[in-house]
Amino acid sequence: MLLSHPELQQVWANRATDPDTFNRARHALGKELHKLYSKLPDQEATETRAMMAHSMRGEGGQVEMREPFPNLGTFTDAELREFTRKNYGFV
């Protein structure tokens, strides 16, 4: 956001001496971020909607179901490192 609004750096630096300007800027940024990110699709909701549409139409075929997320608290350190490497590509 600083790249598109360089004046924010000065507003941030003066937030203690000018809280009204800081609050207005924070409110405006919140609105802008909401407008930008509120329209992104929810992947899980999209998959659920597709599954429901297929089942209601009586269409055949398998719908891919995800495995439930494992309880990471039961993993040993080695198992957790392997799980992280396998699913996320880093340790």
Confidence of residue 80 (pLDDT cuts 50, 70, 90): very high
Whether 78 is covered by a domain: the verdict is no
Return the pLDDT at 62.
62
71: nearest Cα among 63, 79, 59 = 79
Identify whether 45 is part of a domain.
Answer: yes
Domain annotation covers residue 81: no
pLDDT at 24: 92
In a domain, 83, yes or no: no
What's 89's DSSP letter?
S
Residue 47 counted as domain residue:
yes
Q: What is the per-residue pLDDT across 20-73, written as a single tens digit (0 to 9) for each?
A: 998 998 998 889 888 888 877 778 888 888 888 877 777 655 656 777 888 999
**In whole angstroms, what is the distance from residue 2 CA to residue 8 CA?**
6
Domain span holding position 7: 1-60
70 is a domain residue: no
Query: Which single residue is written with the structure tokens 């198992």?
Result: 79
* Number of separate domains in the chain: 1
**In a 10 Å sphere around its CB, with 0-12 CB exposed, 13-18 middle and 19+ buried, how is residue 37 labelled?**
exposed
Does residue 5 lie within any of the structural domains? Answer: yes
Does residue 8 sit within a domain? yes
